[in-house]
Copies of this chain bind each other. A is one copy, B any other.
Amino acid sequence: MDTFYVETQQRCQFVNITEAVRQSLSRSGLRQGIGVVYCPHTTAGLTINEAYDPDVAHDILLYLDQHVPRDLPGFRHIEKNSDAHIKASLFGSSVTLLVQEGDIVLGRWQGIFFCEFDGPRQRMLQIKWLEIGK
């Protein structure tokens, strides 16, 4: 298992981790198979989306900010970050990647993003690479 760290600077922020994931694949030596990037945090997530225009990440975060309220009558969680937990479940705690000829299979505009929903913090990500059996 490979591990790397991300430092976030804002409460909600997308961090492009594509290059870090590529370096991890390179270290593994895998040529054909799949990879799983895992987020062990409950107020953050992972997604694959457009990496070319940073306005896309901006607009996704703006939508989440307006549609997942920081407080709601009836919320009980004492840490007052239930919105971050909701966003984590909506986005998911892992992304699964295809590996072909030693590289991650990504569409032309795609990048892999760590999604911070309760920063700023130091966050850890874990990766496993699996060789294809057939």
Contacts and interface: CB of A to CB of B under 8 A. Distances in A.
A16 B92 CA distance: 16
Q: What's the dominant secondary structure at chain A's contact region?
A: mixed
Interface in A90-118: 90-98, 100, 105-110
Contacts of A85: 49-50, 56, 59-60
A14 B56 CA distance: 23
Counted per complex, copies of this chain come to 3
Contacts of A34: 36, 128, 130
Interface in A57-73: 58-60, 62-63, 66-69, 72
Contacts of A58: 76-77
Contacts of A77: 53, 55-56, 58-59
Interface of A: 1, 28-30, 32-34, 36, 38-42, 47-50, 53, 55-56, 58-60, 62-63, 66-69, 72, 74-79, 82, 85-86, 88-98, 100, 105-110, 126, 128-134
